């Protein structure tokens, strides 16, 4: 028995539901990690080699701005 990739009901063509775009998952991850970065204290930022100004600049980026800088 073959699985159809779409269904037809009379004149209506119903496409199968699509999975969420992978970009949405990446945006949620960016929101979470940028929020975590903004909450780090100076000692933690020093440990990972990022200044407070760089951390705040990264935290202020928009969620869909995913290009590395």
List, for residues 2-49, the tens digit of each pLDDT value: 555 555 555 555 566 665 565 888 999 999 999 999 999 999 999 999
Q: Residue 32 sits in which domain range? A: 22-61
Is residue 45 situated within a structural domain? Answer: yes
Is residue 67 situated within a structural domain? Answer: no
Measuring CA to CA, how many Å separate 8 from each of 3, 4, 16? 13, 10, 11
Distance CA 33, CA 55 (A): 11
Is residue 7 situated within a structural domain? Answer: no
The answer, as to whether pTM is greater than 0.85, is no
Distance CA 51, CA 57 (A): 10
Is residue 8 situated within a structural domain? Answer: no
Identify the band that residue 68 occupies on the pLDDT scale cut at 50, 70 and 90: confident
Is residue 27 situated within a structural domain? Answer: yes
Is residue 3 situated within a structural domain? Answer: no
| Structural domains counted in the chain | 1
Compute the C-alpha angle 52/69/67, nearest 5°.
Answer: 125
Average pLDDT over residues 43-61: 95
Q: Give me the pLDDT at residue 49, please.
A: 96
């Amino acid at each position: 028995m073959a699985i159809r990739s779409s269904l037809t009901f009379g004149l209506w063509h119903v496409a199968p539901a699509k999975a969420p775009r992978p970009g949405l998952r990446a945006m949620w991850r960016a929101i979470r990690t940028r929020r975590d970065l903004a909450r780090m204290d100076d000692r933690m930022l020093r440990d990972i080699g990022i200044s407070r100004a760089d951390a705040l600049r990264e935290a202020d980026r928009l969620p869909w701005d995913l290009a590395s800088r």
